[in-house]
């Protein structure tokens, strides 16, 4: 009996393997098309890089913002709203804005003030102070410091961006993570799964864990370079418009280390609800789902024929089980 079961399983495995081999030509064609497109849009190296932008030489007002010129870099700050700003460090090629849903922002009245210590660009709700070494300080209208950024470092292909974190500051975000809700508390683990004192390094790289993951597994299926900071002075949200592989860590300093692309990011201030609203205004909001979408959805790997799907639906009906939708996986 055991031998018969083993033979049956081997035949089933072999038939399944032959079935999936039929997708090999499609997979090969897709990979060729993907490689061609990646080569077409691949950004060339932007230079040797630098450890800091150098000294601030001058600043010029623009509509809704200002440009800052350093010895080795340029900084463009543009207010999209009173409490929402886009920040670009150059050199670097701006990203293709496929992730941006709204681009038609109204002009914002800003004020540029220069002092011996810093140059401050402000709206009615947000102040961004640029020091002469390239460090940035973000404050609300009352002068509360919400975020303090260190001068960025330019790598040959990417950027290293750091900001000081307050002792009590909580960090939330980065997409799907099998870890603590407050990412500041996350720690690296040993090969045996034991926690260490080293802050967790979160990887920006979408990965299908195929159902095999546990606490601390990283990366996961959805990686998004956005996080919310919450501390006693207030809250803010920062979103990096960069799809390159990156690593984020949160210790005394928040570090974003990108392997490529430009250093363009968006910064908003306000309550957690307000900054999330700005983020979805920028990247798009999901429509209200239909009522049936709130019901039970059945899915599995292995629906190979229409008959199999129909039989599944009939079995749910015969057993009086609720069913709103049946999903067919990528094997169909």
61 neighbors 119 (Cβ within 8 angstroms):
no
128-135 average pLDDT score: 97
239-251 average pLDDT score: 97
* Distance, CA of 87 to CA of 76 (rounded, Å): 6
Q: Is the peptide bond before 318 cis (omega within 30 degrees of 0)?
A: no
The pLDDT tens digits of the residues spanning 262-306 come to 999 999 999 999 999 999 999 999 899 999 999 999 988 888 888
Give burial (CB, 10 Å; 0-12/13-18/19+) of 237. buried
Domain 56-283, CATH class in plain words: mainly beta
Task: Point out the least confidently predicted range of 5-14, 61-70, 163-172, 192-201.
Answer: 5-14
The pLDDT tens digits of the residues spanning 162-219 come to 999 999 999 999 999 999 999 999 998 887 778 888 999 999 999 988 778 888 889 9
What is this structure's pTM? 0.82
C-alpha distance from residue 327 to each of 144, 212, 221, 297, 299 (Å)? 50, 21, 18, 7, 5
Confidence tier at 76 by pLDDT (50, 70, 90): very high
Residue 250 reports pLDDT greater than 90? yes
> 159: Cβ–Cβ under 8 A, 6 or more apart, which residues?
89, 92, 152, 153, 256, 257, 258, 261, 262, 263
* Distance, CA of 271 to CA of 250 (rounded, Å): 21
141 neighbors 124 (Cβ within 8 angstroms):
yes
Query: Between 96 and 12, where is the model more confident?
Result: 96
* Distance, CA of 12 to CA of 79 (rounded, Å): 61
What residue spans define the domains of the chain?
A: 2-41, 56-283, 291-328
74 neighbors 68 (Cβ within 8 angstroms):
yes
Distance of CA 248 to the CA centre of its chain: 10
């Amino acid at each position: 009996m055991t031998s018969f079961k083993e033979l049956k399983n081997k035949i089933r495995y072999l038939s399944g393997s032959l079935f999936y081999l039929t997708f090999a030509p499609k997979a090969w064609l897709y990979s060729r098309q993907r490689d061609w497109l990646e080569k077409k849009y691949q950004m060339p190296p932007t230079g040797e890089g630098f450890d800091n932008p150098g000294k601030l030489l001058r600043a010029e007002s623009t509509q809704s913002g200002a440009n800052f010129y350093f010895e080795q870099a340029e900084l463009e700050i543009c207010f999209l709203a009173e409490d929402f700003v886009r920040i670009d460090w150059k050199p670097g090629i701006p990203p293709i804005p496929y992730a941006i849903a709204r681009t038609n922002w109204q002009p914002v009245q800003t004020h540029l003030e220069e002092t011996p210590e810093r140059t401050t660009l402000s709206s009615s709700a947000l102040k961004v102070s640029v020091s002469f070494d390239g460090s940035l300080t973000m404050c609300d209208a009352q002068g509360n410091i919400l975020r303090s950024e260190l001068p960025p470092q330019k790598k040959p292909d990417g950027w290293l961006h750091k900001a000081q974190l307050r002792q009590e500051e909580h960090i939330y975000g980065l997409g799907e993570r099998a870890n603590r809700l407050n990412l500041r508390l996350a720690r690296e683990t040993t090969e045996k799964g034991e926690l260490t004192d080293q802050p967790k390094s979160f990887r920006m790289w979408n990965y299908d864990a195929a159902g095999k993951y546990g606490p601390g597994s990283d990366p996961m299926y959805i990686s998004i370079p956005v996080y919310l900071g919450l501390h006693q002075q207030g809250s803010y949200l920062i979103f990096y418009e960069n799809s390159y592989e990156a690593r984020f860590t949160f210790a005394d300093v928040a570090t974003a280390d990108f392997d490529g692309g430009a250093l363009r990011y968006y910064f908003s201030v306000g309550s957690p609800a307000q900054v999330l609203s700005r983020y979805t205004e920028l990247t798009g909001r999901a429509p209200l789902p239909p009522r049936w979408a709130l019901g039970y959805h059945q899915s599995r790997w292995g629906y190979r024929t229409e008959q199999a799907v129909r039989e599944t639906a009939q079995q749910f009906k015969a057993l009086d089980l609720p069913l709103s939708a049946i999903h067919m996986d990528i094997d169909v």
